[in-house]
Amino acid sequence: MKWLINALTKLGLLNEDLDYHLIRGSMVVLFLFFGYQKWFEYEAQVLIPYISNGPLIFWMYPVFGIRGASWVLGMSEWSFAVLLFLGFWHKRLGVLGALGSCAAFLGTATIIPFMPDGWAPSAGGFPAMAGNVPFLMKDVVLFAVSVYLLKQDVARVSRSAPQSELVLERASLGATR
């Protein structure tokens, strides 16, 4: 095992925020693909049991209708993808993307307890998942990933903020002379 760890260390694959960049890139791709689906009728129909039973998103159908709710979700997901992508270079935009991502996955993860027929009665009910619940369980992990990105970006903005403020302060002092 030690030789494997040494080999990975020498390759440098585990240095320089590889995990952070892989996670950010994966989230961008995920939001692009899931956002794309929302533009089509088949996906709008698939979303009905999810949105109808979501304690944080049930209001979307009365406000936007079935297709409109799907389009709003699609635009939101594409917006998060763009913000997360720009977060590679501009951490403040990454913070906004990560906040949106947290909200999206919090919204979908909260559907889990309210999904009808979500727990298999033939297997004793909870925790035996059934129906749409297994698909939603990934959102628990994606919520944690979103929190990780948010934490990383806030920390990076915080570390760079004092230097930026110092530059602005020096510039304003130079202008007053």
pLDDT in tens, 121-135: 777 777 788 888 999
- The pLDDT of residue 167 is above 70: no
For the entire predicted model, the pTM comes to 0.82
SS3 11: helix
119 falls within a domain:
yes
For the cut 90, the answer to whether the pLDDT of residue 78 exceeds it is yes
Q: Inform me whether the pLDDT recorded for 166 exceeds 60.
A: no
Does some domain include residue 151? yes
Q: How would residue 158 be classed by pLDDT, with cut points 50, 70 and 90?
A: very high
Higher pLDDT, 64 or 3: 64
* Strand stretches in the chain, DSSP E: none
Q: Is residue 143 part of a domain?
A: yes
Longest Cα–Cα distance in the chain: 80
Specify if 71 maps to a domain.
yes
How many Cβ atoms sit within 10 Å of the Cβ of residue 74?
Answer: 20
Q: Report which of 32, 44, 9 is spatially closest to residue 82, judged by C-alpha positions.
A: 32
Looking at the domain assignment, is residue 175 inside a domain?
A: no
β-bridge partners, 129 = 119
Q: H or E stretch including 131?
A: none
Q: Identify any residues that bridge with 119 across adjacent strands, giving them in sequence order.
A: 129
Q: Which range has the worst mean pLDDT, 9-18, 81-90, 163-172?
A: 163-172
Q: Domain range spanning residue 108?
A: 17-157
In a domain, 135, yes or no: yes
pLDDT tens digit sequence for 9-32: 777 666 778 889 999 999 999 999
Q: Do residues 102 and 149 make contact, with C-beta atoms less than 8 angstroms apart?
A: no
Residue 19 vs residues 69, 96, 156, 165: alpha-carbon distances, Å: 33, 20, 15, 29
Asked, for residue 11, whether it belongs to a domain, the answer is no
Mean pLDDT, rounded, for 107-114: 94
Q: What is the pLDDT of residue 3?
A: 85
Indicate whether 5 belongs to any domain: no
Number of structural domains, the chain?
A: 1
pLDDT band at 136 (very low <50, low <70, confident <90, very high): very high
Q: At what angle do helices 18-37 and 133-176 cross, to 10 degrees?
A: 120
